[in-house]
Amino acid sequence: QSSLQIDGILDAGVQRIDYKGTTVTGIGGNGSSTSQINFRGTEDLGGGLSARFRVETDWNVVSNKANTGTTAASGAAPVTGSTFGNGEIRVGVAGAFGALDLGSVNYNTLGTYGVGQPFGTAIGSGFRAVAINDAASTSSVRAENALKYVSPNFSGVTVSLYKSFKQTKAGTGVAADGNYSSTLGAYDQYGVQELGLNYAGGPLAASFSTLKQDNEEVGAGTAPDYTVNTLGVNYNFGTAKAFFLYQTVKGEGVRESKLMTLSGTYTLGATVLMAQVGSLNDDVQDKKDKMISFGADYNLSKRSAVYVRYESIDDKLNYAKNPGSIAGTAGETTRTRTAIGVRHSF
Amino acid sequence: QSSLQIDGILDAGVQRIDYKGTTVTGIGGNGSSTSQINFRGTEDLGGGLSARFRVETDWNVVSNKANTGTTAASGAAPVTGSTFGNGEIRVGVAGAFGALDLGSVNYNTLGTYGVGQPFGTAIGSGFRAVAINDAASTSSVRAENALKYVSPNFSGVTVSLYKSFKQTKAGTGVAADGNYSSTLGAYDQYGVQELGLNYAGGPLAASFSTLKQDNEEVGAGTAPDYTVNTLGVNYNFGTAKAFFLYQTVKGEGVRESKLMTLSGTYTLGATVLMAQVGSLNDDVQDKKDKMISFGADYNLSKRSAVYVRYESIDDKLNYAKNPGSIAGTAGETTRTRTAIGVRHSF
Amino acid sequence: QSSLQIDGILDAGVQRIDYKGTTVTGIGGNGSSTSQINFRGTEDLGGGLSARFRVETDWNVVSNKANTGTTAASGAAPVTGSTFGNGEIRVGVAGAFGALDLGSVNYNTLGTYGVGQPFGTAIGSGFRAVAINDAASTSSVRAENALKYVSPNFSGVTVSLYKSFKQTKAGTGVAADGNYSSTLGAYDQYGVQELGLNYAGGPLAASFSTLKQDNEEVGAGTAPDYTVNTLGVNYNFGTAKAFFLYQTVKGEGVRESKLMTLSGTYTLGATVLMAQVGSLNDDVQDKKDKMISFGADYNLSKRSAVYVRYESIDDKLNYAKNPGSIAGTAGETTRTRTAIGVRHSF
């Protein structure tokens, strides 16, 4: 049988951003999670084999313009919208051999990151600030035109292999070079290879991912190759859960950083409290970022919650992106985000 | 329980537009209603509390290019498409306290307008011609990044409060000003505050909305603040229903207008006849628009109908927008639209 | 009753393109079919009458950027994304009189093409290479703002009539001409008229379509009118099925071509083998294209299959489009595409 499933998340609230001295308040989305809708399906093919797919669309729950895509301020490039299939998209086959998926498939690194701290990729997580997924300017959580193989589960251990083919053009130095295809990968697309190891058993979960991003002859050809190694561990003590995250990023001459964070959650009935502290050192810049974050969920049901989140990042390395083009003040390095909101999944 | 509901409307027909002397005929959508698909959900949280959401996508049922978004004629800005979540988007919580929704939530003014005449926002309604919702160039039916509170129902009366935070930049005159966030509201977003009062009881429905649009230091800073007051009343006599609409718009030095329309519907078995007459005076231009419109629905079922619509607006004030960039003829002021089509809801 | 149905197809695999001397390998979609999701509905109105609709969205199952739409390489126009409703969109009524649909409705020619060969519009079909649907640069499978009438079935025969109104502007030579509407048809939209005849009975299926594309005064006004005549026939021998396709395209002074292909399928249990050979002559260029293609499906179930496809087109006429802007080598004329993948429908 084949069955289409539709599920999703909506997350919105009042948010306050203090970006290095400039403060803006408004209604914003995704304070505690990524608002999305998923079309999923699984078909039992017999003999332990199954076909499966996911099409994820990440929408903005508070802004039509963000969904539609608008012409940006004069001189800027057009802004792309939250169109259908802008999240994880994949189709594949699973069986005794493991699972093979094709598409724009999530990195194992994203899973590792979720094992290493409890804030997801939302406010408090440090994602795209102290931690990254790949070294692209947007720190993508997946590559384009990719292939992912995940092994069967051996006593709690799975192995993940990931590949996205490189597509070069401008960087090859050959004027009329046409050795790329936007159909099989966008113009000047970096190549990605990733190996992941995951363990889950009893109270312990651990995950390690090593991701190599090949930028040689891609674009202007000036970006170095990157290696992003991420380790996430958590241990469930019952009402309390402890998390450890460690990440190294190496890009020859550009970045050589080490991140370490400790975090935990504590559950009190319908309330879940969470906190994280961490620091990021970069040997190239010889500077240090520090982060502290807090959060609380009050679960109205299994599917609905109200939440608060707070994070403060002393961002001397200037890795914490400007959320929405807010200009900071010279000399100020701290980005703070606060949110109170509602989250509903269906 | 949580349950996803999907519903929608498709409306298409043959349309003829005579825009101030130039006539174009073709297949067009939305002659009698806005074609849309809605993802909605409600979760009963117990104790009278519920979580709820809506994600509306307004598509074009007759043009792929309108849905995809295309590069406009040379020199023009890219046209945005009908992407996922370009309609009303909101998530919130309802209970004994009323209902609180966050997102790009419909104005109460849109509801008031629907109480005051029977043509919705489609052909015959005069919407975005003699009547507006807010004074933005597109007369939006909702603001970005907004918060809406609706009171509990007191003997048929509900009160609505609406707020969208202003985000300034270019208009502040401060060169490096960064006091805005595209995440919490688009670049140079005007602020909106609205108060609404609604009554429904027996045969009478009445609604009043007062919407203030704050343009100070927004964009070039040249637009005045606007106040849009709208009153809609209808009375159901059984087979006949009478409607009254009154709207004043004040924008210092730009527009000081008064609109009044009378309309009615008459139901004969499966047929619903409708008509509207109205006039708009503007003290700034010292001119007057006149409108007359007719319509008929023949209901094939509760969900399907064939319809005809006709409207004629003598638009001396030049408020009736050019539908699709048709150039008019000098000296001509009348816009006429005619449609015969089919409407299906699911 | 009205009922919403959601169905779709996902197709992805490893693909290798050799475009006239340049080879690119990667993960690509649509090797054997068009990945899509459809929202459909039918309502029984009684008396044999029904209302019906389809909204098709064609997504890219392997690339987020293709779905989102991105700014193309510098200087180029923005690329449009795979937004909601970018496939066949229509709403209409069916009954004893036949069926009338409005929207961006598929040409009968698309159906004829499917009767004439077994590869759909995917790798191996020759579509948008040796065969076209209309003579627009993209060889659209449907027109914008269109009306389609299909007769009732008379002993296996149906007649199809298709109309899309022309919208001119720039090509009229009249500076201030406004005789078009982007609402009722895009700027400088060619007109389309099509007559189709279809037969299906027992082992035999046959279909003929004649499509006229009116380009007079459209755009720069330099494109000729086109006539595309397509004939497709297939005969089912049981495990084997034979196909014949014949197409003539006439565009005064630009193209006068004749295409003929022969193809067949052979079913061996869960395996379906398919092959096609064909040639295209153009009297204007006085050159000839040749095509050969092979394919095999291994059906894992009725809804899931793994497949291989191969096509080779000796494209002396230069009609086989460059898939994704690959630059060929001077003197080389052969485009070859190979794919191994998985296809799942839901």
B75 within a domain of the structure (yes/no): no
Cβ contact (<8 Å) for C70 and A186?
yes
CATH number at residue A308: 2.40.160.10
**Residue B72, pLDDT above cutoff 70:** no
Cβ contact (<8 Å) for A303 and B2?
yes
Q: Which domain holds residue C284?
A: 2-67+81-345
User: Residues C216-236: pLDDT tens digits?
Assistant: 888 777 889 999 999 999 999
Return the residue of A nearest to B187 by Cα.
A73
Cβ contact (<8 Å) for A180 and C63?
no
Q: Which of C45, C77, C84 sits opposite B301 (nearest CB)?
A: C45
Lowest mean pLDDT among A150-154, A172-176, C16-20, C97-101: A172-176
Residue C75: the pLDDT is 40
Other CB atoms within 10 A of residue B168 CB? 23
Residue C74: the pLDDT is 41
B2 within a domain of the structure (yes/no): no
**Which chain C residues touch A102 with a CB distance below 8 Å?**
12-14, 27, 61-62, 341-342
Question: Do C207 and C108 form a contact (C-beta atoms < 8 A)?
Answer: yes
**Which chain A residues touch C59 with a CB distance below 8 Å?**
55, 84-85, 89
Cβ contact (<8 Å) for B83 and C83?
yes
Lowest mean pLDDT among A14-23, A202-211, B292-301, C293-302: A14-23
Segments of chain A assigned E as strands: 2-19, 22-29, 36-46, 49-58, 89-95, 98-104, 146-150, 157-164, 191-201, 204-214, 226-236, 240-251, 255-268, 271-282, 287-299, 304-315, 334-345
**Which chain A residues touch B168 with a CB distance below 8 Å?**
none
CB hemisphere CA count around C145 (13 angstroms): 28
Return the residue of A nearest to C85 by Cα.
A84
* Average pLDDT value for chain C: 90
Cβ contact (<8 Å) for A86 and C64?
yes
Cβ contact (<8 Å) for C327 and A167?
no
Q: Which positions of chain A have pLDDT values less than 50?
A: 1, 72-77
Cβ contact (<8 Å) for A183 and C78?
no
Size of interface A-C (CB pairs under 8 A): 181
Query: CA angle, C292 as apex, C286 and C296 as ends, to 5°?
Result: 160
ipTM computed for the complex: 0.92
B7 within a domain of the structure (yes/no): no
Q: Kindly report the length of chain A.
A: 346
Other CB atoms within 10 A of residue A150 CB? 20
**Which chain C residues touch B83 with a CB distance below 8 Å?**
81, 83-84
Query: CA angle, C31 as apex, C27 and C36 as ends, to 5°?
Result: 95
A25 within a domain of the structure (yes/no): no
- H helix or E strand, kind and range, residue B182: none
pLDDT band at B327 (very low <50, low <70, confident <90, very high): confident
User: Residues C157-189: pLDDT tens digits?
Assistant: 999 999 999 887 765 555 555 667 777 877 778
Chains with 3+ CB–CB pairs under 8 A to A are B, C
B251 within a domain of the structure (yes/no): yes
Q: Which of A38, A35, A37 is nearest to A11 (CA)?
A: A35
Cβ contact (<8 Å) for A89 and C62?
yes
**Which chain C residues touch A4 with a CB distance below 8 Å?**
6-8, 346
Residue B314: the pLDDT is 97
Cβ contact (<8 Å) for B178 and A325?
yes
- What is the rounded distance in angstroms from the CA atom of residue A195 to the CA atom of residue A230? 11
Question: For chain B, what percent of residues have pLDDT higher than 90?
Answer: 73
Q: Which of B80, B183, B185 sits opposite A323 (nearest CB)?
A: B183
Residue B1: the pLDDT is 46
Question: Do B9 and B36 form a contact (C-beta atoms < 8 A)?
Answer: yes
**Which chain B residues touch A65 with a CB distance below 8 Å?**
144, 186
B31 within a domain of the structure (yes/no): yes
Residue C80: the pLDDT is 63
Give the count of domains, chain B: 1
B155 within a domain of the structure (yes/no): yes
B327 within a domain of the structure (yes/no): yes
User: Residues C182-218: pLDDT tens digits?
Assistant: 778 777 788 999 999 999 999 999 999 999 999 888 8
Question: Do C121 and C271 form a contact (C-beta atoms < 8 A)?
Answer: no
**Residue B281, pLDDT above cutoff 70:** yes
Cβ contact (<8 Å) for A184 and C342?
no
Residue B170: the pLDDT is 61
Q: Please tell me whether residue B130 adopts helix, strand or coil conformation.
A: coil
Size of interface B-C (CB pairs under 8 A): 182
- What is the rounded distance in angstroms from the CA atom of residue C309 to the CA atom of residue C294? 6
Other CB atoms within 10 A of residue A240 CB? 12
- What is the rounded distance in angstroms from the CA atom of residue C248 to the CA atom of residue B187? 53
The greatest distance separating any two alpha carbons of chain A, rounded to the nearest whole angstrom, comes to 65
* Average pLDDT value for chain A: 90
Which residue of B102, B163, B192 to mutate against A (max A Cβ within 10 Å)?
Answer: B102
**Residue C79, pLDDT above cutoff 80:** no
Question: Do C222 and C216 form a contact (C-beta atoms < 8 A)?
Answer: no
User: Residues B96-134: pLDDT tens digits?
Assistant: 999 999 999 999 999 999 999 999 999 999 999 999 988
